[in-house]
Amino acid sequence: MKEQFIKWAEDNNWDIVEVEDQAELPDHIKDRYTIPKNWYDFIARFRVCQNRDFTKWFLTPLDYKNDRNEGFRWNEYELQSLEWCDGDAQISAYWDTHLPIFRSVEGEYSYYAIDTTNGQIVYGNEPEYEDPTIVATDFDIFIGKIISGEIVL
């Protein structure tokens, strides 16, 4: 499936930079989330996976590191919601079970995340990031829908 996705990316003007060895996720991610193996095996070999306009991208292990202060942080939408809602505990509870895996800043801010309680992929957007729609029952189906054009990134 990864090779099919790379072909899709090339055909759709996306930039992908692969790494030779699987990149490790930082401890704060592994401690907070149950990591789905199929997602990790897919993304751990990418350093970059983004459109050429730099407005849409899959979060890679590099994106989850806390030492990057420029641009969007991996949990930017959670942080925005917490700021807008004065630290509402329900927002933190939502993000504790929804691992962001894709982000778009083209038009309205939006994301795809893995619901780590059941593996489903959800789509959310501003202004209420925490009111998502289920788009796939697991990560492999999600990638298949992207490749087939059913989900347009």
Where along the chain do its domains lie? 2-64+73-148
pLDDT digits (tens, 9 = 90+) for 14-69: 999 999 888 899 999 999 999 999 999 999 999 999 999 999 999 999 999 865 55
Mean pLDDT score, 138-146: 98
111, pLDDT greater than 90: yes
DSSP 92-103: HHHHTTEEEEEE
The class (CATH top level) of 2-64+73-148 is alpha beta
Half-sphere exposure (Cβ direction) of 6: Cα atoms closer than 13 Å = 11
Of the candidates 108, 101, 96, the residue with the CA atom closest to the CA atom of residue 135: 101
